[in-house]
Structure 1
Amino acid sequence: MAWSCCAPVRQELWGCRSRARRFTLYPYTQQRNGFRRQAQKSDPHNSNVEAGTKPQKSGLSPTVQDPAFQKSSHSVKKLVKPLIFTVGFSGCAFGSAAIWQYEHLKARVQNYFEDARADWMDRIRPQKRLKFRKQVKLWWDSLSRGQRAVSGIIAANVLVFCLWRIPSLHRIMITYFTSNPASHALCSPMLLSTFSHFSFLHMAANMYVLWSFSTSIVSLLGREQFMALYFSAGVVSTFASYACKIATGRFGPSLGASGAIMTVLAAVCTKIPEAKLAIIFLPMFTFTAGNALKAIIALDSAGLLLGWKFFDHAAHLGGALFGMWYVTYGNNLIWNNREPVVKAWHTMRTWARKK
């Protein structure tokens, strides 16, 4: 199902998917509470032959011979490091975004007259640009600020998708580009898994939603704040997935950008609840963004309670709740109080220049 919607503030949200997908890779779960392959009977006459059966193949899951998982644990202590990483990374993301915005505004002021002079020189100078480069520039200039902002994110997802196609990298990819509280690597996959898709349809659906909502979310928050929110949302939604898996014992590696995308979707729908949405193939049926968000949350809540395994419903809910909280309270608590960070950066920058 796909949505095509238009906000009353003249910002179009075309073709928004009804649910961003974050898949759970259960083909690797050999036991309910453990992730090592079940021991097979060894052949005494051929002890050097590697035991094991042919791995399962799936269009949504990679084929890995021996994923390096440690025994699962229901201990809450396993959430300490992910919690510290979530708080620390999110703080660094918003702090870096504040510094980025400061540097960007400063550069714009300093380069204003230089840019005007360069434009004047281009008018009187013969144009020697290649036709292809000119077409690319025209296409790039035609994009909105939001679409330009997410272009890098989409490119990173495509790159990781291509890495999944290299069989020799599967062990590394399953360790660092899938999130799993029973894995040896806990923190770095919380971010890397949000750029990871094994299925092309999975990646295409998520990137389609992100591209559709990019114009509205960047118009609401600005480019720098949006980037900080997106990266933080990926980590926060993965932490919610970790907590749910440890609490329920339903372990399994997950991957996908849908946790972060649900934050974007929830933020826009919360900020513009009266926006009219429509299923892209059934434009005659319309509904408000607020009702659509309620339906998505209800569906993910049911999936979480009933134990549906195809999607990581905890990551979806964590991302959606984070998006709703941020546009309601978080913006004032975090972004509007960035002045001390900017002042500290300005002081350090001035001191370094004097030396």
Structure 2
Amino acid sequence: MKPRTDAAETPFENIKIDGGPVGLSDLWKPLGFTILFSSASFAGAAIWQYENMRAKAIALVKKPVGWMDGRIHRVKKWGKWRQEMNSWWNGLTEGQRIFFPLCFANLLVFVAWRIPRLQGTMVRYFCSNPASRTLCWPMFLSTFSHYSAFHLFANMYVLHSFSSGAVAALSKEQFLALYLSAGVISSFSSYLFKVVTSQPGLSLGASGAIMAILAYVCTKFPDTKLSIIFLPFFTFPAGTAIKVIMGLDAAGILLRWKFFDHAAHLGGAAFGM
């Protein structure tokens, strides 16, 4: 979910929210940022993937063979706690190893929202707002921003559910590039919709990026059976699920529903497909 908060409804009564008329010409800078950020993300992912493959190849060449292999043991971590943590981490899937750092970053931002002294900074940099004086970096930072605990839990639950499958299909490097790029692209989609419809407001949340992951998995594996957390006995194909979700977001745009940022959802989903 990527909720919208109109300026008049913000929970921060003593914080000035940037507003005023915004035209399409004001979106050239965010568009350039979106293109550069996404290009850099995938270029960085390609380099990271190459270096990881190179390191694995070198390690394979240097791997001891024969009788020497049995004499070389992994160095144990000092301390029982470190050994347990190391064992836990090594037991995770690659998708889970990507998920937990992302979740931790979201938790840090959630805690920052609870610090009154930081709220002005949080509204300026961790909420996307096309009328703000700071347009570009909030498109990225708002992807890690959640004000309510339920919003954070819902998004992290969905991300955890789909991260392992997506990483297995994409690789961890390409997954991260897709996730981060989708966050910025969904924010730009939100900007564009708000400017065209003259509907100002703040948006925050990871749902635009998560929608890209969800759309990728559902289109690549359309026959996979999904279920709802509170209705585990009711299953449905992934291909049907993404069509219904995108249909609801399209209806939200047409009917001008304001609770969620439906334009951001659709932008992320379209990019993931």
TM-score bracket, normalised by the shorter chain, equals: over 0.9
Cα distance in 1, alignment partners of residues 47 and 157 from structure 2: 30
Q: Percent identity?
A: 51
Pair member with larger Rg: 1
Q: 1:22: how far off?
A: 0.5
Question: Is 1:95 aligned with 2:46?
Answer: no
Alignment of 1:195-206 (within 5 A): 195-206=144-155
Q: Deviation at 1:180?
A: 0.6
On the 8 A contact 1:237/1:314 being kept in 2, the answer is yes
TM-score normalized by structure 2? 0.93
Distance in 1 (alpha carbons) for counterparts of 2:220 and 2:108: 32
Deviation track 1:298-346 (CA, whole Å, cap 9, x = no partner) reads 111111111111110110111111111xxxxxxxxxxxxxxxxxxxxxx
| Alignment partners' CA distance in 2, 1:244 and 1:212 | 29
**Does the Cα contact within 8 Å between 1:97 and 1:228 map onto a contact in 2?**
yes
Counterparts of 1:283 and 1:177 in 2: how far apart (Å)? 34
Return the offset for 1:120. Answer: 4.3
Q: 1:287 aligns with which of 203, 216, 236?
A: 236
Aligned match for 1:134, one of 72, 83, 95: 83
Which residue matches 2:157?
A: 208
What RMSD in Å do the two structures reach over aligned CA positions?
1.9
Given the superposition, is the C-alpha separation of residues 119 and 131 from structure 1 closer, same or farther in structure 2, using an over 3 Å criterion?
A: farther
Looking at structure 1, the residues matched to 147 and 70 of structure 2 have their Cα atoms a distance apart, in angstroms, of 45
Name 1:9's counterpart in structure 2.
none
Question: Residues 268 and 128 of structure 1: is their aligned pair in 2 closer, same or farther, counting only changes over 3 Å?
Answer: closer
Amino acid at match of 1:184: R
Q: 1:173-200: CA deviations, max 9, x gaps?
A: 1001000101111101000000011111
| Alignment-derived partner of residue 121 in structure 1 | 72
- Residues 121-155 of structure 1 show CA distances to partners (whole Å, capped at 9, x for unaligned) of 336x8x67322112111211221111101221111
| Ranges of 4+ aligned residues in structure 1 off by more than 6 Å | none
In the alignment, does 2:2 pair up with 1:22? Answer: yes
In the alignment, the residues of structure 1 paired with residue 32 and residue 71 of structure 2 have an alpha-carbon distance, to the nearest angstrom, of 52
Amino acid at match of 1:257: A
Task: Note the C-alpha offset of 1:78.
Answer: 1.2
- Cα distance change, pair 230–120 in 1 and its aligned pair in 2 (3 A): farther
List alignment gaps of at least 5 residues for structure 1. Answer: 1-20, 31-55, 325-355
Greater helix share, structure number: 2
Amino acid at match of 1:95: A
* Distance in structure 1 (CA, Å) of the matches to 2:27 and 2:3: 21
Gaps of 5+ in 2: none
Tell me the equivalent position of 1:219.
168
Query: How many residues get paired?
Result: 270
Q: In the alignment, which of 93, 104, 123 is matched to residue 52 of structure 2?
A: 104
* Deviation (angstroms), 1:64: 4.9
Q: In the alignment, is the contact (CA less than 8 A) between 2:4 and 2:201 conserved in 1?
A: yes
Aligned positions of 1:124-203 closer than 5 A: 129-203=78-152
1: CA distance, partners of 2:214 / 2:69: 40
TM-score (norm. length: structure 1): 0.72
Contact 1:85 1:187 in 2 (8 A): yes
Structure 2 residue matching 1:287: 3-state secondary structure: strand
